[in-house]
Structure 1
């Protein structure tokens, strides 16, 4: 959604979208395919997680 479209939300707009700086940081942050994963969650469908260790068939 463009900044002009966000104006329709009035005073709530800054809370509905991250700043340009935060978006750029998120886009340039490396994603490690061996450590970064998404896991099922009861409240939210999936959440981000990091793999800390692997032992045999167990991942934590």
Structure 2
């Protein structure tokens, strides 16, 4: 969604979309397919976790 499309959300728009810098950091963050997993959580649907050993 572009900035123009986010205008429909008014004052809430900055809270619904991360800044360009935050998005770039999230995209370039390493993700190890062998160790990083998502596990079910009661409060938040899923949370990121790291496998420490087998």
Q: TM-score, normalised on structure 1? A: 0.75
Rounded to whole Å, the distance in 2 between the matches of 1:6 and 1:53 is 43
Q: How many residues align?
A: 54
**Could you say which structure has the higher helix fraction?**
2
* Stretch deviating more after TM superposition (27-36 or 44-53): 44-53
> What SS class does the counterpart of residue 39 from structure 2 fall into?
strand
Q: CA RMSD in A?
A: 1.3
Higher relative contact order (Cα pairs below 8 Å, separated by 6+ residues): 2
Q: TM-score, normalised on structure 2? A: 0.82
Structure 2 unaligned runs (5+)?
none
Structure 1 unaligned runs (5+)?
55-60
The structural deviation recorded for 1:2 is 1.3
Rounded to whole Å, the distance in 2 between the matches of 1:14 and 1:52 is 36
